[in-house]
Structure 1
Amino acid sequence: MSRRYRGNLAATIIMVAADVAAFILILWIVLWMLDANRANDLVEWIHDVASWLGGWAHNIFSTQSAWARTLLNYGLPAAVYLIVGHAVAGRVNRA
């Protein structure tokens, strides 16, 4: 196991959950930018999960450009999950 995921089991679970959430959000951004087939079941599932994970941030930014809106409205939650998840995991690991 890498140094990043050593320590308290609860901290590891929190960190991995934050990483997975951010990965799914970023994966959706990439799929959207590449104009992935929305009729594909996997693409639809990733979009549904990303929409659920980033639901609290939808339409925070309302730019004219669709690519910028997608990047900001899904990128912000990804960054928040990473920052907050790793901060909480660090705090739990120190406790």
Structure 2
Amino acid sequence: MRGINGAVRALAHIIAGILVIWILMDLLDANSGNTLVGWFHSAADWLAGWSRGLFQVSNRTLQVLLDYGLPAIVYAAIGNLIARRVAE
């Protein structure tokens, strides 16, 4: 079971990492024409589809943090909880 535990935890952290990288790229105005930036944008939009627009705020930075940071936290927390349960 230890292998499954580690795999679940790693997957959750990779997903959260993709979202965090996109937050940084967006807030630092990364070149949207770049292929890598486009990939992270598409992946983050897909992963955060359920949470984007959940809260509406007028501050752009806060909106990005809510739209993509909230799911990053949720994925990491749920992944760690599942990994802990698998390990038991």
Normalised by the shorter chain, which TM-score bucket? over 0.9
**Rg comparison, structure with higher value:** 1
Residue 49 (structure 2) aligned to one of 51, 55, 61 = 55
Instruction: Name stretches of at least 5 consecutive residues in structure 1 with no aligned partner.
Output: 1-6
The runs of 4+ residues in structure 1 deviating greater than 2 Å are: none
Structure 1 position 9, deviation (Å): 1.0
Give the structure 1 partner of residue 21 of structure 2.
27
Q: Quote the Cα distance in structure 2 between the aligned partners of 1:40 and 1:65.
A: 26
TM-score (structure 1 length as normaliser): 0.89
Give the structure 1 partner of residue 34 of structure 2.
40
Q: Quote the Cα distance in structure 2 between the aligned partners of 1:80 and 1:14.
A: 14
TM-score (structure 2 length as normaliser): 0.96
What root-mean-square deviation, in Å, do the aligned CA atoms of Structure 1 and Structure 2 show? 0.9
Instruction: Name stretches of at least 5 consecutive residues in structure 2 with no aligned partner.
Output: none
Structure 1 position 65, deviation (Å): 1.1
Give the structure 2 partner of residue 90 of structure 1.
84
Q: Quote the Cα distance in structure 2 between the aligned partners of 1:30 and 1:36.
A: 8
Provide the aligned length of Structure 1 versus Structure 2: 88
